Every structure is written in structure tokens, then in C-alpha cells.
Structure 1
Amino acid sequence: MTDFNKTQSPIAVSPNEAARLAGVGRTTLYAALATGELKSLKIGTRRLIKVTAIHDWLQLNEQRNGG
């Protein structure tokens, strides 16, 4: 079993934190979740977004916009 401590980065974050990390508004983030463009998972009642999925989503948008 992996021993996690407070200095390690989280693997998944809440939608609010994901929006903050990505530098977008909550509406933009929830729209991406609704279309399936950004993947998330649900554990109990919590919706979580993997940090790697946020990076992938940002790269996809960068490629679309010629960045």
C-alpha cells in the first residue's frame, strides 16, 4: 500500500479545484464534463476529476486552437 503524505500532489480534485487549476470558470468546466470532453469519476456522492485528465483536456484545447 502506498504511503501518502501531505506534501504529495493530489491525484484527483473537485470540480471547483479543477476549474481553478485549469484557469477556467466553473461554467466552462461543467460544460466540458457534460459533453464528455473532460472525464470525471464519482465516488459516493463526490465528483472528482483526475489531474491527468485536466492536463489532457488543456492539451486538447491547445491543439484545437492552434497553440
Structure 2
Amino acid sequence: MTDQKKTHQPQPPIAVSPDEAARLAGIGRTTLYAALAKGDLPSIKIGTRRLILVDAIRDWLAQHQG
């Protein structure tokens, strides 16, 4: 019998910090924080931590295609 090892690949995050969101989107922090302030890019706050859903980043970027 063959031993089958399960390979556990790390799951991509579903939410990231604003700094990481800016890096993922390829934009500056100032641009990202401006989008947050205007309400164009939604975020959530848990305790003192602000998080941005990766899907929200994708949606926000898709709105700016052109």
C-alpha cells in the first residue's frame, strides 16, 4: 500500500490590512486611504484593526477598468 500524504497549501487571505491591500492592488497607501475615506472601497473594523475584503479590492479595481 502506498502512503498518501495530504499536502496542505496555505489558503489565501479573505481580508487584509490597508497596507497589504495597497500592495495587492499596486497603488499607493494615500490612494487607498482616500478611497476608504470616500466610501468607494468598503472596509470592516474588528477591534482596533481595519480590514479590507480581498473581494472588495477586486470589485473596486474592476470599477476602474477602462
> What TM bracket, shorter-length normalisation?
0.7 to 0.9
Other-structure match for 1:30: 33
Unpaired runs of at least 5, structure 1: none
SS of aligned partner of 2:51: strand
User: What is the TM-score of this pair, normalised by structure 1?
Assistant: 0.84
Other-structure match for 1:20: 23
* 1:56 counterpart = 2:39: no
Unpaired runs of at least 5, structure 2: 1-7
SS of aligned partner of 1:53: helix
Aligned residue pairs, count: 59
Matched residues, percent identical?
71
Which structure shows the bigger proportion of residues in helix conformation?
Answer: 1
Q: Return the index of the structure with the highest Cα Rg.
A: 2
In the TM superposition, what whole-angstrom CA distance separates every residue of 1:30-58 from its partner, at most 9, and x where no partner exists? 00000000000000000000000000000
| 1:6 to partner: Cα distance | 6.4
